[in-house]
Amino acid sequence: MNKFLLTDKIEKFAPLETQDGWDCSGWSVCTKNNEISKVMLALTVTDDVVKQAKSKQCDMIISHHPLFYVPLTYSDIDIYCAHTNMDKANGGTTDTLIKNLGFKPDYIIDEFVRIVNFDAPISVNCLEKKLRDISPNLRYVNNNKIEKVSKIAFCAGSGSEFIDSVDVDAFVTGDLKFHTALDSNCIVFDIGHFESEIGILEVFKNILGIDNIVFAEETTPFIY
């Protein structure tokens, strides 16, 4: 398989030029080998993930999170990532989270945030149960003791910065900050950064459309 044909598929789905200016999507390591035999998909490239890839005879890693610093020990394996461009893409990170919950996004705010509207309000307990299917260890704040919701914002990963910019009954994200939680007028569900984004690996698999793919063994770094 030609590795550039694979990355072309990803960039057609999530163009690199749409990534944020601070991001490092694209090639983290591009070796001289153009042909690859097996790809490992990972949310985050770590020492352990690189070891897994090499032990399973993978010659390329495709990840969601970028490498801002590339250790020399990674220089012999191709590493490519699609981060904020994948977050913004139709069918990308947040859309995948919403789909896996059985919902459908209605429109987009601030490129990263998706809004879901319900014809009839649902109970907070019902929403909580759905979210626990994805994240058994979720936490949430409900400062105003809201019981039913009809308009929900979603932002996979770290979405705390967008909470104040939307008028919704509930906001679902990961990495909720303490003071944001204290000040929030809507219900905010923190399902975890890892849990909110891990579903994107299946999207990568479908985009690539090849058989020789393995998934890295990854978990959230937090112990509950």
Domain presence at residue 224: no
What integer pLDDT is reported at residue 222 of this predicted model? Answer: 92
| For range 118-129, the mean pLDDT | 96
Do 33 and 17 reside in the same domain of the chain? yes
Average pLDDT (1-17) is 97
210 inside domain: yes
Q: Are residues 14 and 59 in the same domain?
A: yes
Does the pLDDT of residue 110 top 90, yes or no? no
pLDDT of residue 120: 94
CB atoms within 10 A of CB 222: 9
Query: At 214, is the pLDDT very low, low, confident or very high (cuts 50, 70, 90)?
Result: very high
- Mark whether 46 and 79 lie in a shared domain: yes
Q: Report which of 144, 137, 150, 117 is spatially closest to residue 196, judged by C-alpha positions.
A: 137
Q: Which pLDDT score, from 0 to 100, does residue 15 have?
A: 98
The overall average pLDDT reported for the chain is 96
Looking at the structure, do residues 122 and 209 belong to the same domain, yes or no? Answer: no
Average pLDDT over residues 79-88: 98
Model confidence band, residue 224 (pLDDT cutoffs 50, 70, 90): confident
- pLDDT tens-digit profile of 40-49? 999 999 999 9
Residues 150 and 110 both lie in one domain: yes
- In the chain, % of residues over pLDDT 70: 100
Assess whether 99 and 174 both reside in one domain.
yes
pLDDT of residue 184 exceeding 90, the answer is: yes
Q: Which residues of 17-28 are buried (b: 16+ CB within 10 A; e: fewer)?
A: ebbeeebbbbeb
Q: Edge-to-edge, what's the strand order for the sheet holding 213-215?
A: 26-29, 78-81, 60-63, 39-42, 213-215
The reply to whether 70 and 131 lie within a common domain is no
Determine the pLDDT at residue 34: 96
Q: What is the pLDDT of residues 65-75, one digit of tens each?
A: 999 999 999 99
The residue range of the domain holding 25 is 3-87+198-215
CATH label of the domain that carries residue 121: 3.40.1390.30
Same domain? For 172 and 112 the reply is yes
What's the rounded mean pLDDT across residues 111-120? 95
User: Which SS3 state, helix, strand or coil, does residue 29 take?
Assistant: strand
pLDDT at 100: 96
